[in-house]
Structures are given as C-alpha cells and as structure tokens.
Amino acid sequence: MNSTAAVVSPAADAPQGKEQQAAGVGILLQISMLVLSFVLGHVLRRHRFYYLPEASASLLIGLLVGGLANISNTEANIRTWFNFHEEFFFLFLLPPIIFQSGFSLSPKPFFSNFGAIVTFAIFGTFIAAIVTGILVYLGGLTFLMYKLPFVECLMFGALISATDPVTVLSIFQELGTDVNLYALVFGESVLNDAMAISLYRTMSSVRSNTSSGQNFFLIIVQFLETFVGSMSSGVGVGFISALLFKYAALDIENLHNLESCLFVLFPYFSYMLAEGLGLSGIVSILFTGIVMKHYTYSNLSENSQRFASSFFHLISSLAETFVFIYMGFDIAMEEHSWSHIGFIFFSIIFIVIARAANVFSCAYLVNLVRPVNRKIPMKHQKALWYSGLRGAMAFALALQSVHELPEGHGKTIFSTTTAIVVLTVLLIGGSTGTMLERLEVVGDGHNNELLSYEEHHDGYVAPTYEEGASSESNLKTKLMEFHKTATSFTELDKNYLTPFFTSQTDDDDLDFGGSSHQSRRGGFYDL
C-alpha cells in the first residue's frame, strides 16, 4: 500500500505542477508586456510622437501578443491567465483608477465648471444613451441592421455611452491646452463612468423584471435611488475617515505605517460597502476619493501624505496600463460575431450622432445661463465632441452583456463594442494632437491663462473665456460667481465643514489638501 501510494502521488501532483508552471508563464508575459508598455510610452512621450499615445500602444501590444498566442496554439491553461474577467476588472482594476480620479481632482477648475460638468456627465450621458438606443432600434425596424429588442438597445446605448478619454487627457496635458477645456473633459469622464454603469444596471434590471411594463417614472426613481444612495455612501465613508484621522492621533512617527494602511483600506471599504448594499461601488469610491482628498488628506502626517499620493498614482497607472493590455489580448483571443457588419457600421455612425447631441445640446443649455464672457466657445465644444473615446468600461459592460443577453444578441453587442473601442482608441486617440492644433486650443496663450488663473483666483471663480471683456464686466461676473458659489459651498465649507473634519488653518482652507494633483495618466494641472 505504501509503495503504491508513493508511485501514485507524483502522478497526481503532476497536473498541479503543470498548472503552476502555466501560471508562472502567464504572469511573466503580463509583467513583460507592462514593462514594454511603460518603456514604449516613455519613448513616445520623450519624442513627442502623439500619433501613438500610451494607451493606444498598450492596446496594440495586447493585440499583437494575443494574435501571436492565437496562431501559435498556446496551451489553454496559459491562455486562461489572459481572459478578460469582468469581475476582476470591476473589483480590482477599476476601483483604484476611479478613486485616483476623484482623489486627484484639482478643485478650483473642477468646481468653477461644476455645473457644466454635471450637465455633460449626467444629463448628457442620459441623452447619448437614449439617442443611441432609439437609433439602433429604429435601424433594426428599417432593416438597416440586426434587430434587437428596445430594452436591449437601451442597454447597448448605456454601455457605449461610457467615455474613456485617457489618451486625449494625456495629450491635453503634454500640449498645454485650456484649463477650462481640460476640466470639462476630465470632470465629465470622472462622473460619466458612474452614470453609464448606473444606467446599464437600471436597464438590465428592467429587462430581467417580469413586469416589463413598469412605469417609466419608477425607472427614473430607481436610477436616482442608486446614484444618490451610492454618492451618500461614499461621502459618508469619506467623512468617517476624516474624523478618524483627526482624533485618533496616528500622525506620530512610530504609527506612520498604521496610518498609511488605514488610509489605503478606506477606499475599498467604501466600494465594497456600496456593492454589498446593492448600490454602485464606482459612484461611491469616486466621491470617497473627492472627500478624502479634501478633508482626510490634510489630517495625515507629511510622510503619509507623500506615501498616499505616490501609492494611489502608482497603482492607478499600473491598473490602467494593464487594462488596455488585458483588453487588447482578450480582443485577439475572444470569439467574435462578425456576421452583422451592418450593425457595427451603423452603430459607429449612431454614436457619433449621439455624442454630438450630448455635447452641443448640453453646451447650449450651459451657455443659456452663463454670462457672455464665460460661454463655452464652439472650438471647445468640438474638442469635447471629438474626445468621446470608448474604452475599458464599455468593453467590460459589453462582455457582461454576453452573459446576460441571448447568445446572438450579446455576441453582436460585444463584437460591435470591440470594434468601436479599437477604432476610437487608435484612430481618434492618434489624431487628437492634430485636432487640437486645428482648433487652436493649444499654445502659450493658454498657459498664460493658466498662470493668471493661479495668481488671481483664490476661490471657485472661473477664468474668463474671452480676454476682450471689459473690466467692469469681469468684476460683475466675479461678483455673480462669488455670490452663487462662494456664499453657498465655500462659506459652508470654510466656516463649518473644514474646521469640523480637519485641523487646517484658515490659510489652507481652499488648498484642498495640497497643490500637486495627478491625472489618470500623468499629471493634472498643478493648481
């Protein structure tokens, strides 16, 4: 018996050893692609080669390696390490990226354009999703494309309305574009992901609900409950963290490790709390990032502040680069349904139309209530329209739809989304630099505007778009903006919230915990 056991045991352990070897090879390939992506991105930035941005390079590396693995009969147990799992994306890769987005927000340009940002991200995303869904449904009725049920068309409209302008933002920063335009694109992208996920989940629940004829008003209420509940959860966790670090006296030298560990854990606590309550973890962790940067960050010791800024920027950069590689590899390896080319072709046209309806209608509404010298110029509207790239969020939701929808429907949506993501990231991302130069929204003039913004604006009053406005008009605009924003949020924050949640002095009240803010890839304007 013992000799038999001795003989059988190695044979039984062989598959496990083979699996561990495959895991090692898979992880080695992933690390190699990450290193190659970072090195290639650095070389491209150093030589100012904007036709192949870093995100596009990462996607191409994934596509190339995935294509080689596909034609070389790579072992299945190695391939499994590159399959795009939406659970892994939503639970591990997306949270640090979204948290860093909120954590790195520079408050002055963000809050000076807050009304416009919310209009584009909330109302505009809703318009884009509905317009896309209706056009796709009408295209099916008129036999232009593959026909889908109306609710599934709205699900497709919701997932494809998620923009990911990482490439555009990195080029904006490199070329030194207008601070207001950067704030609009960045702010919209931060809130847009959360809005798109909430819309998609709402439409998905409507489809799975047996009483499919439920009132449209109830659908809106359901969406608002999810969004507002998630936002409240995130803000609440942020406030709790601020109070903890203010009164727990963790900023002494021998407790810096504990202080840093607790600070890192709070964002994931916020995300998992919202998911556990059936809310949106993305919305929750976004607002947790904003609140923790504003209040909690200033309660940390200097060493912990440096660690927190570097740590979250590091893991968000790693996660974001890995997402594009991961996505490219999976696109090359996944089975796609290319039988409905008409659906792909017309969907691309429809999302261009929907993006235009989003940007130009929202800009019109914003300009209605803004003074003449603060209206959004047409060239900025065109830049906003052009910067609506689709990325990892749309890809992950499309992959999720494969499991939720009938086989033919889900595969068609997934293949269409894949084509749109590759097209927008490679073509639009690569031509962004040329577009900005054609629209004349880059150059030294905008950098000077940024300097004047920093030197002369202490509150949330935005810089003017037109330099030729009279001084009297400028003063009137500043007084109006101060009356609307400073007396509400700024005064509330300065007199009540900041003293209660932080130990900041009056001189630091509007500093929001520091002056160095990093964007999703690279850095935000140091305001």
Per mean pLDDT, which range of 96-100, 236-240, 411-415, 513-517 is the poorest? Answer: 513-517
Q: State the pLDDT confidence band at 78, using cuts at 50, 70 and 90.
A: low
Asked if the model's pLDDT at residue 461 lies above 60, the reply is: no
Mean pLDDT of 294-322: 90
What's the CA gap between 383 and 527, in Å, rounded? 22
Tens-digit pLDDT profile for residues 198-226: 888 888 888 877 544 556 677 777 778 88
Q: Amino acid identity, residue 434?
A: T
Per mean pLDDT, which range of 17-21, 242-246, 347-351, 363-367 is the poorest? Answer: 17-21
**Residues 105 and 293: beta-carbon distance below 8 Å:** yes
Asked if the model's pLDDT at residue 35 lies above 80, the reply is: yes
pLDDT at residue number 519: 37
Per mean pLDDT, which range of 28-37, 228-237, 262-271, 467-476 is the poorest? Answer: 467-476
pLDDT at residue number 514: 41
pLDDT at residue number 372: 83
**Residues 396 and 90: beta-carbon distance below 8 Å:** yes
Per mean pLDDT, which range of 79-93, 284-298, 499-513 is the poorest? Answer: 499-513
Q: State the pLDDT confidence band at 480, using cuts at 50, 70 and 90.
A: low
pLDDT at residue number 267: 94
Q: Mapping DSSP to helix (H, G, I), strand (E, B) and coil, where does residue 442 land?
A: strand
pLDDT at residue number 88: 82
Mean pLDDT of 20-46: 83
Q: State the pLDDT confidence band at 74, using cuts at 50, 70 and 90.
A: low
pLDDT at residue number 449: 42
Q: How many residues does the chain have?
A: 527
pLDDT at residue number 489: 64
Q: What is the dihedral of CA 196, 200, 201, 205, to 10 degrees?
A: 150
Per mean pLDDT, which range of 145-159, 414-428, 439-453 is the poorest? Answer: 439-453
pLDDT at residue number 388: 79
**Residues 391 and 62: beta-carbon distance below 8 Å:** no
Mean pLDDT of 376-402: 85
Q: Looking at per-residue confidence, does 420 or 5 come out higher?
A: 420
How distant, in Å, are the alpha carbons of 6, 70, 194, 261, 268 from that of 230?
Answer: 57, 41, 10, 24, 14
What's the CA gap between 229 and 202, in Å, rounded? 14
Q: State the pLDDT confidence band at 19, using cuts at 50, 70 and 90.
A: confident
What's the CA gap between 51 and 435, in Å, rounded? 11
Tens-digit pLDDT profile for residues 311-332: 999 998 898 888 888 888 878 8
What's the CA gap between 112 and 395, in Å, rounded? 32
Q: What's the token pair of residue 175?
A: 């070329």
**Composition of the chain by helix, strand, coil, percent to 5:** 80, 0, 20
**Residues 146 and 414: beta-carbon distance below 8 Å:** no
Over pLDDT 70: what percentage of the chain?
Answer: 75
Q: Mapping DSSP to helix (H, G, I), strand (E, B) and coil, where does residue 371 land?
A: coil
Over pLDDT 90: what percentage of the chain?
Answer: 18
In degrees and rounded to multiples of 5, residue 288 shows phi and psi of -65, -40
Nearest C-alpha neighbor of 185 from the set 381, 51, 466, 353: 381
Q: State the pLDDT confidence band at 473, using cuts at 50, 70 and 90.
A: low
Mean pLDDT of 37-45: 86
pLDDT at residue number 458: 38
Asked if the model's pLDDT at residue 483 lies above 90, the reply is: no
Mean pLDDT of 476-490: 51
pLDDT averaged over every residue in the chain: 77
pLDDT at residue number 158: 92
Asked if the model's pLDDT at residue 229 lies above 70, the reply is: yes
DSSP labels, 187-240: HHHHHHHHHHHHHHHHHHHHHH-S-TT--HHHHHHHHHHHHHHHHHHHHHHHHH
